[in-house]
Structure 1
Amino acid sequence: MLTLVFMFVFMFGEVAVLDNGLALRPPMGWMSWGYYMCSVDCDSNPNKCLNEKLILSVADTFYNDGYLDAGYEYIIIDDCWAEKERDKLGRLVPDHKRFPHGMKYIADYIHSRGLKFGMYTNVAEVTCMRYPGSKDHFYIDSKSFAEWGVDYIKVDGCFVGEEFLNTAYIKFGQHLNATGRPIVYSCSWPYYIEFIHKKTPNYDVVSHNCNMWRNFHDVVTSWPAIRTIITHYKESYDQVSPYHAPGQWNDPDMLILGTGSLTDNQSRVHIAVYVMLAAPLLLSCDMKKITDYEKQLLLNLDLIAIAQDSLGVMGKPYELQNSVTLWVKPHLPRKGDKYHSVSFALVNLQSESSSVSLTPGSYSLNSTDGYTVMDIFQRKFIRNVTLRDSISVEVPAEDVIIYTLFPL
């Protein structure tokens, strides 16, 4: 199978390689699936309905409540947006009742707010929820998305075999590039290869053809789901980190703040690990249900600065004592050309608090003048440390502490 993929890439040469200059920082925004899923029965449940009104209201909230200013810019409609049949010309058609003005209208509204618009399709004949998929329609669907003003496309991989996946994602990306419109390309390719077809994804090929890709199961609105995702990325760090860089991101799926599923400390863990992973930060929730504390987390500019750092380094996990994981992420600003700032996230997924100690010099920090330490959640200076000093903390149950160490 890998031979087939490489033959395909060789035949098409440079055209097969994604080079769209997009997503140089992990995308931030909102996506419908995690919370709304396929909420199409709007008559029975008007307060949880995937429709035009919802999408425009999210755009308004981002614009009015500071999310856009903080870097959240993509508003993305996931599955279940279309009519069940294409039109006479073979084009996808938005559901007439739920999206009465069509997708170009929504895109224009979102763009007028300074935001960007995203949509969803699947490489099979149908989507994961049995709406029309893009198989045999890559050209016309890419053309439609470009004409509608789409800036981001999530492409799923349900209901097709391994061989088709390994060529379809490359072909679809070529058609997107051929439209001439800048469209961030989000693939679910490696997830289906690993977890559905039980093979090892070829991340070298994936990373040359997609801006971002989902590696693991869909998130659901529960703390156990978040804990499982975090554990997966800790265990798969060596496999996936070499391919993670500006323009090509591992995607652990959506943030579920605002769904009532997490305590405040669990919310801290959720966003902290995603920040350390340099992962996309895509909310999925009813924006009206975000608590004041969740909003404070989401708009913490010190946290966002770590997440959006232009170096795009994926944080590395280290096991400390008492089942605490230390995630270490170097980033800007630098002192000179070799002393990076470094963030430490001490993550405790256990149901009891844990005491841990660490020495900065053991984790590739190298400024012999030492570092000044800032607590990112408390937003305050802690103290200055040398490379040999010990940092000792008590990490509460199911919680995290983030320190950023700036070189002196």
Structure 2
Amino acid sequence: MAVYLFVLFFVAVYLSSVVELLDNGLARRPPMGWMSWGYYMCGVDCQRNPQKCLDEKLILSVADKFYKEGYQEAGFEYIIIDDCWSEKKRDHNGKLVADRKRFPNGMKYIADYIHKLGLKFGMYTNIAATTCMGYPGSREHFKTDAKMFAEWEVDYLKVDGCFVEEDYLNIAYIKLGAHLNATGRPMVYSCSWPYYIEFIHHKQPDYQSVSKYCNVWRSYHDVVTSWSAIKAIVTHYLEAYEHLYKFHGPGHWNDPDMLIFGTGSLTDSQSRVHIAVYAMLAAPLLLSCDMNRISEYEKKLLLNLDLIAIAQDPLGVMAKPHALQRLVTMWVKPHLPKKGDKYNSVSFALVNLSDETATVSFTPGQYGLNSSDNYAVMDIFAQLFIRNMSLSDTFRVNVPSEDAAIYTMFPL
């Protein structure tokens, strides 16, 4: 017991000497961009599977797509390389090295290319000795790796938490964050800390601490390219709302994981559910896909600036879910613009996860609207004005199976 108390005392003294709360001024709105894992995963067998090759050519092509096809103007800016980017061993100086075949020019070259387009560059590590896929992790190398990521001019760092004990999780993320801060290089700090606490160690995460030290955090399982995965994520956030919403806001975001547009996994209606819930949650919008496979309709959704305005609203409110029927939920989100700096605009997302069309009705005045004047109603997906409504009017709409609709009410 004496030894244990001594260790705790040592850790407390160490952390008090090096740790400052996250104060990087970043992620004031949920990050938007592209991340490799969901679609490309550990795409290292480039000869046998060139369509799923995680390499320099792929990353630069995503940057070109963002720059040339309107994604950058819509707010998509981060291009993030996930696991499996490095050699299997550190070099003789103890530094991580990019895979020499797949990334022949190194990571600084990629960062420079991305930055010249006005975009931002992200990378991945793990707080364990190895990454989830068996590549070198950062344990015992936090200071060295933080300095290296800063030298490579990384703008976003995703940090996984495979293969470590619960007590270490609660120390390591704080410690690595302190070393990142000490570099002076602003990097969005994305943590998987609460996910591993809850789903691996089966404890309730301390979201108050997580929100102090991380910009973004994963709180549920990895997305996979299937509709069932999207339904599970939506259901989780519906059930976990009370635990999550109070720690969510500018600089600190719950992350439901990547958007799987461009993977052929979703119908148009399912795509509306996917992006509607993410936008209402004020979640990061990080695509994971072959950018050449994004359908015209998916691209229309991604470049819908009325939808992006809800997702990127500066207030950063996480929408509150209200059950209307079995498997039919209305998510309610107040946001800007305000009338007279007093009356919020409010968006309502009607989400039907059932296999039947649902007819729903609601009175907006019962959900936090407070202007005695009328509201102008806009259909966000159609980008059309619908009509003016008062607080006492009832809104009635049919929502098809596995579909969503979003209506925004602007105070007049």
Fold equivalence (TM over 0.5): yes
Native 8 Å contact 1:169 1:189 kept in 2:
yes
| Corresponding position of 1:171 | 175
Moved more, 8-17 or 35-44: 8-17
Q: Could you report, residue by residue, the CA deviation over 1:256-306 in whole angstroms, capped at 9, with x for unpaired residues?
A: 000000000000100000000000000000000000000000000000000
1:235 aligns with 2:239: yes
Q: C-alpha displacement at 1:323, in angstroms? A: 3.3
User: Could you tell me which residue of structure 1 aligns to residue 346 of structure 2?
Assistant: 342
Q: Does 1:22 align with 2:30?
A: no
Are 1:205 and 2:184 counterparts? no
SS of the residue corresponding to residue 52 of structure 2 reads coil
Asked if residue 104 in structure 1 is aligned to residue 108 in structure 2, the reply is yes
Over the aligned positions, Cα root-mean-square deviation in angstroms equals: 1.7
Tell me if 1:384 matches 2:401.
no
CA contact (8 A) 1:372 1:385 kept: yes
Identity within the alignment, %? 71
Tell me what 1:310 maps to.
314
Paired residues of 1:25 and 1:309 also in contact (CA < 8 A): yes
Partner Cα separation in structure 2 for residue 223 and residue 11 of structure 1: 43
SS for the counterpart of 2:331 is: strand
In 2, the alpha carbon distance for the partners of 1:229 and 1:275 equals 14
1:260-339 pair list within 5 angstroms: 260-339=264-343
Q: Which residue of 2 aligns with 1:183?
A: 187
Structure 2 residue aligned with 1:42, among 43, 46, 64?
Answer: 46
Matched pairs, number: 407
Write the distance in 1 (CA, Å) between the matches of 2:381 and 2:34.
23
Q: 1:122 maps to which residue? A: 126
Is 1:81 paired with 2:85? yes
TM-score with structure 2 setting the length: 0.97
Report the AA paired with residue 406 of structure 2: I
User: 1:32 corresponds to which letter in structure 2?
Assistant: S
Q: Provide the rounded CA distance (Å) in 1 between the counterparts of 2:233 and 2:325.
A: 21
Any conservation in 1 of the 2:258–2:285 contact (CA below 8 Å)? yes
Q: Aligned partners of 2:165, 2:214: CA distance in 1, in Å?
A: 19
- Name which of 231, 235, 248 aligns with 1:244: 248
1:363 maps to: 367
Shift of 1:204: 0.6
Task: Give the aligned residue type for 2:274.
Answer: H
1:397 corresponding residue in structure 2: 401
User: Residues 80-127 of structure 1, C-alpha deviation per residue, up to 9 Å, x if partnerless?
Assistant: 000000000000000000000000000000001100000000000000
| Deviation for aligned residue 1:47 | 1.8
Query: What SS does structure 1 have at the residue aligned with 2:131?
Result: coil
1:216 corresponds to 2:220: yes
Q: Which whole-Å deviations, capped at 9, do the CAs of 1:17-76 have from their partners, x for residues lacking one?
A: 101100000000000000000010001111210000000000000000000010000000
Q: Structure 1 stretches of 5 or more lacking a match?
A: none
8 Å CA contact 2:279, 2:310 repeated in 1 = yes
Q: Aligned to 2:341, what secondary structure does the other structure show? A: coil
Contact 2:245/2:318 (CA < 8 Å) preserved in 1?
Answer: yes
Q: Is the 8 A contact 1:193 1:200 kept in 2?
A: yes
TM-aligned CA distance change 1:373 to 1:208, over 3 Å: same
Which digits, 9 at most, give the CA deviation of each residue in 1:214-269, with x for residues without a partner? 00000000000000000000000000100001000000000000000000000010
Q: For residues 316 and 387 of structure 2, what CA distance do their matches in structure 1 show?
A: 27
TM-score normalised per structure 1: 0.98
Measured after TM superposition, the shift of residue 15 of structure 1 is 3.3
**How far, CA to CA, are the matches of 1:8 and 1:24 in structure 2?**
30
Per-residue deviation, 1:146: 0.4
Offset, 1:356: 0.4
2:271 & 2:341 partners in 1: Cα distance?
Answer: 35
Work out whether residues 256 and 284 of structure 1, in 8 Å CA contact, stay in contact via their aligned partners in 2: yes
Cα shift at 1:10: 9.7
- What SS is found at the alignment partner of 2:377? strand
Matches of 2:300 and 2:332, distance apart in 1 = 23
Note the C-alpha offset of 1:9: 8.8
Cα 1:9/1:71, change in 2 over 3 Å: farther
Counterpart of 1:79 in 2: which secondary structure? coil
List 4+ stretches of structure 1 deviating above 4 A: none
Tell me the amino acid that sits aligned with residue 67 of structure 1: Y
Shift of 1:370: 2.0
Native 8 Å contact 2:60 2:110 kept in 1? yes
- Tell me, in whole angstroms, the C-alpha distance in 1 between the residues paired with 2:329 and 2:202: 28
- Give the 3-state SS of the residue equivalent to 1:126 in structure 2: coil
> Partners of 2:334 and 2:19 in 1: how far apart?
33
- Provide the C-alpha distance between the structure 1 equivalents of 2:249 and 2:274, rounded to a whole number of angstroms: 21
